[in-house]
Chains A and B, each alone.
Chain A
Amino acid sequence: MDLRYTEAEQQFRKELREWLAEALPTLPPKPAPDDWPARRAYDTGWQRMLHDAGYAGINWPKEYGGRGATLTEQLIYLEETTLAGAPYIGVNFVGLLHCGPTIMAEGTDEQKREHLPRILRGEEVWCQGFSEPGAGSDLASLSCRAVRDGDEYVITGQKIWTSFAQVADYCELLVRTDPGSKHRGITWLICPMDTPGIEIREIRTIVGSSEFSEVFFDGARVPVANRVGEENDGWRVAMVTFSFERGTGFISDLVETNRMISELAALARKVTRRSATAWDDVAIRREIGHLQAEMDALWAMTKRNLAQAERHGIPGPASSVVKVYYSELFQRLTDLAMRVLDRASLSRDDLGGLPSGVFVEERLRSTSFTIAAGTSQIQRNIIAERILGLPKG
């Protein structure tokens, strides 16, 4: 076991840090949260900057234009960009982390040529059409129907929780091609979002934001050539997509959680409660220290997962463990922040020059962490069934 970074890894960190210090001040001001065209322009502009500097597709193989970095370098990349306050992957999330890797693994040569370079350059934005109102945790029960008509599929049905649908060029779409079977009746399609017969309705979240949409398909026609993998083999293709999330999946979330613990400690030292600061309250201080201990342990575990993935090609004890733990830890952190803020938590805007509003905002936003990308309950089922080998219920 060795926790030292190699010379090459340290050099990578140094160059990246230097580049970030130069590049970040040149970014335009951040757009308003619900100005989706502006957000698309901002996020794709950043992606183009990464591309031109050689940092696009950090985990993509070189043959597809990526950097082909080692897992440790990916960890360093995510650590440094998060710490430097670089833009979040944003609207590029689905393209870079889901569809791109899926097309690399399962797409035709033509699909690869058409989409991969454009995703890397920030010229193509994707959204995900997986979940449906009737198919959430039980994703394989999806019913959005695709009927073959000559060299086209005719699609009728509904998707939900489609992030960035308003500004996406393409949708990775799971459709029902065989109603007679469950997992083996699903097909993975590339659906252009300007196809006639698609309607988008934004969903307003508890934060008031509108990143999610419902997407309605009413006889939308998609060429059969847009299919990735075989007809009725889409479940396997989707599982390939999920496997790319393993290893480095939640690292930027962990770095962010760690940063928030420091921010909370700093805030607690400034928040006054009657005669003393919140930090002078031993119960508060101890709870923050407790969270930091758990965070350090989780971070160490992530390094072990990376080492195992690098050595054996298989990630260590499952991304599910990381997902369950960090999402619940983050919620405990923001719960504590609300107590530290006391009555200042009535405001979602910053008060008294302190970064108070961000914690209130994160308390609301983090309720989604234990739901999105597999609820904590589903993650626990996965741990129990796939790792501990317990029987299915």
Chain B
Amino acid sequence: MDFELSDDQMALQEGVRNFCEGRVPMQVIRVLADGGALDRDLWRELADMGVFSLRLPEADGGVGLGWADAVLVFEELGRALVPGPLVWTHLAAGLVPGAASGETVVGGIERDDPSRLVEHLGSLDVVLIVDAEGVWQVDAGALASREIAHPLDPLTPVRELTEPLPQGDRLAGPDTAAQLREQGAALVAGLLLGVAEAATDLAVTYARERVQFDKPIGAFQAVKHLLADMFTRVEVARGAVYAAGVTLDDPAVGSVERAVAAAKLTAAEAAIGNGKSCIQVHGGMGYTWEVDAHLYFKRAYALEPAFGGIDACADTMADLLAST
């Protein structure tokens, strides 16, 4: 057993981080937040880096890596708040032509989703519908919808479906549908882990600089303990998220369902908790649009319900406990 990143995995992580820092620093993210539509050039560049084709075999133009690598990449994308239907397009690679190369932008929804909200719908080419029978594909343009004027996360625009979903073209059966849900949850957990880390970094930096009572506020224990808890939540969630990736690759080491539920639950709590604490540490400035803290907080809440929220994960864990 050696649950430490390999040299290749560290290089992958660093590569994606460097790309994000260079290509989508916070100034750029801010511009994207005001623009609304997906930046197709950025999408192609993400595709060129292998964000969507990462797990496809090399023979199919992919990189031939596994889920453990994918969650590391998504952690970095989450840290940088990269917008777009990253998870659905990654899941669609190999199922929907053009998804892997970045030409086709893919979103998705559960058929019985009572919210009827689809993220990024205005920028999508294809929508995947997941239900008990399988995975279905429809053209995004064929869906009647209305724009939500005020989305929770300025970087996650949403549209509400105004007509019942069409049946769509069948892409895969129920087994694939079940797998997609678990895989999607693991990737979202990766994003949430990254959000939680970025919020911690921002809060720690501010606590070292901001002076009150003639001291950096980070010298006060009341503030220190908030920050220590942020770090703790990140490290605990990191263990679970990486374990979920490894378990998806090698189900012999444990229950995929359990590993993914633990990862999604702890990563969501880390991201929401740290988004909240990041605002608190910034004081009044944390309540402004100008400081980035709210972007982490809002992204955390926007991702929490995706592929099963905190309560659904806890229920899954309880069901698994009852069956042992």
Contact = CB atoms under 8 A, between A and B. Distances in A.
Interface in B207-257: 207-208, 215-216, 218-221, 224-225, 227-229, 231-232, 235-240, 242-243, 245-247, 250, 252-254
A336 interface: no
Interface residues of A, number: 55
A288 B68 CA distance: 28
B224 A380 contact: yes
Contact of A303 (B239, B250, B261): B239
B175 interface: no
A72 interface: yes
Contacts of B315: 282, 285-286, 289
A321 B322 contact: no
A385 interface: yes
Given A299-B239, A303-B239, A4 B1 contact: yes
B86 interface: no
Given A4-B250, A290-B317, A265 B1 contact: no
Interface string B1-29: 11111100100000000000000000000
Contacts of B215: 391, 393
Contacts of A279: 322
Interface stretch (B42-50, B262-270, B292-300): B262-270
A301 B313 CA distance: 19
Interface in B109-155: none
B204 A300 contact: no
Interface string B303-319: 00000001101111111
B59 interface: no
A318 to B, nearest CB: 8
B250 A292 contact: no
B318 A296 contact: no
Contact of A289 (B204, B224, B250, B318): B318
Interface stretch (A96-104, A181-189, A307-315, A345-353): A307-315
Nearest to A307: B4
B258 interface: yes
B219 A294 contact: no
A238 interface: no
Given A1-B4, A384-B225, A393-B224, A293 B231 contact: no
A381 B229 CA distance: 10
Contacts of B253: 3-4
Interface string A269-303: 10000000001001001111110111011111111
Nearest to A300: B239
Contacts of B167: none
A380 B220 CA distance: 12
B318 A288 contact: yes
A255 to B, nearest CB: 16
A75 to B, nearest CB: 8
Given A290-B265, A392-B219, A285 B318 contact: yes
B158 interface: no
Interface string A1-31: 1111110010000000000000000000000
A61 B208 CA distance: 42
Nearest to B254: A3
B111 to A, nearest CB: 25
Contacts of A200: none
Interface string A341-384: 00000000000000000000000000000000000010111011
Contact of B266 (A4, A297, A306): A297
Given A391-B215, A393-B220, A1 B2 contact: yes
A304 interface: yes
A287 B313 CA distance: 11
B263 A388 contact: no
Given A262-B324, A265-B318, A298 B4 contact: no
A390 interface: yes
A157 interface: no
Contacts of A297: 236-237, 239-240, 243, 262-263, 266
Nearest to A303: B3
B259 interface: yes
Interface in A104-140: none
A380 B227 CA distance: 9
Contacts of A171: none
A325 interface: yes
B2 A2 contact: yes
A311 B236 contact: no
A288 B51 CA distance: 36
B4 A391 contact: no
Given A72-B1, A308-B4, A380 B229 contact: yes
B1 to A, nearest CB: 5
A32 interface: no
A301 B227 CA distance: 19
A219 interface: no
Given A3-B1, A303-B1, A384-B224, 16 more contacts: A1-B4, A1-B9, A2-B2, A3-B247, A3-B253, A261-B321, A262-B321, A285-B322, A289-B314, A292-B321, A293-B265, A297-B240, A299-B239, A304-B4, A384-B218, A388-B231
21 contacts: A1-B2, A1-B4, A1-B245, A2-B250, A4-B250, A4-B252, A286-B318, A288-B317, A293-B266, A297-B239, A298-B239, A300-B239, A301-B236, A302-B239, A304-B3, A304-B239, A380-B225, A390-B204, A390-B208, A391-B208, A391-B218
Interface of B: 1-6, 9, 68, 204, 207-208, 215-216, 218-221, 224-225, 227-229, 231-232, 235-240, 242-243, 245-247, 250, 252-254, 258-259, 261-263, 265-266, 310-311, 313-322, 324
**Cβ-closest 10 pairs across A and B:** A301-B239, A289-B318, A300-B239, A297-B240, A289-B317, A384-B224, A307-B4, A380-B228, A390-B218, A300-B243
